[in-house]
Structure 1
Amino acid sequence: MNFFRKPVRPDDTADEELVSSYRLNADIGVLGKLYERHMPLVYGLCLKYLKDEEPARDAVMAIFEELVVKLKQHEVKQFRSWLYVLARNHCLMQLRADKKLPTIGIDDFMEFTPVLHPDENEGDKEEALQALARCMDKLTAPQKQSVNLFYIEEKCYKEIAEQTGYTLNEVKSYIQNGKRNLKLCLEKRRG
Structure 2
Amino acid sequence: MHLSDQYQNLSDQDLLQRYKADGNTEWIGVLFDRYAILLLGLCMKYLKNEEDARDSVQQIFLKVLSEVHRHEVIYFKAWIYQVAKNHSLMQLRHKKDVELKEELVPGAAEQDDIRQTAHVQKDLMLDHMERALGELNPDQAITVRLFYLDKKSYQEISDITGFNAGQVKSYIQNGKRNLKILLEKYSKNMR
Report the TM-score when normalising by structure 1: 0.54
Q: Distance in 2 between matches of 1:34 and 1:97?
A: 28
Match among 20, 27, 30 for residue 30 of structure 1: 27
Match among 104, 123, 132 for residue 119 of structure 2: 104
What is the CA distance between 1:69 and its match in structure 2?
1.0
Match among 29, 32, 41 for residue 38 of structure 2: 41
Runs of 4+ aligned structure 1 residues displaced above 3 Å come to 105-109, 159-162, 168-175
- More divergent stretch after superposition (25-34 vs 99-108): 99-108
- Give yes or no for contact 2:89–2:120 (8 Å, CA) kept in 1: no
TM-aligned CA distance change 1:106 to 1:69, over 3 Å: closer
**SS of residue paired to 1:40:** helix
Write out per-residue CA displacement over residues 140-180 of structure 1, whole angstroms, 9 at most, x where no aligned residue. xxxxxxxx6x52xx2684x5567xxx3269759988xx99x
Percent identity, aligned pairs only, is 32
Report the TM-score when normalising by structure 2: 0.54
Q: Compare the two structures and name the one with the higher helix fraction.
A: 2
Matching residue of 1:80 = 77
TM-aligned CA distance change 1:63 to 1:40, over 3 Å: same
Q: Distance in 2 between matches of 1:169 and 1:40?
A: 38
**SS of residue paired to 2:58:** helix
Written as runs of structure 1 = structure 2, the 5 A alignment for 1:6-155 is 14-99=11-96, 102-104=117-119, 108=123, 151=127, 154=128
Q: Which ranges of structure 1 fall in alignment gaps of 5 or more residues?
A: 1-9, 110-147, 182-191
TM-aligned CA distance change 1:63 to 1:24, over 3 Å: same
Q: Distance in 1 between matches of 2:16 and 2:122?
A: 31
**Alignment RMSD (CA, Å):** 3.5
TM-aligned CA distance change 1:43 to 1:169, over 3 Å: farther
Matching residue of 2:137 = 167
**SS of residue paired to 2:118:** coil
Q: Distance in 2 between matches of 1:75 and 1:160?
A: 15
TM-aligned CA distance change 1:174 to 1:41, over 3 Å: farther
Matched AA of 1:46: C
Larger Rg: 2
Alignment length (residue pairs): 123
Matched AA of 1:35: F
TM-aligned CA distance change 1:106 to 1:90, over 3 Å: closer
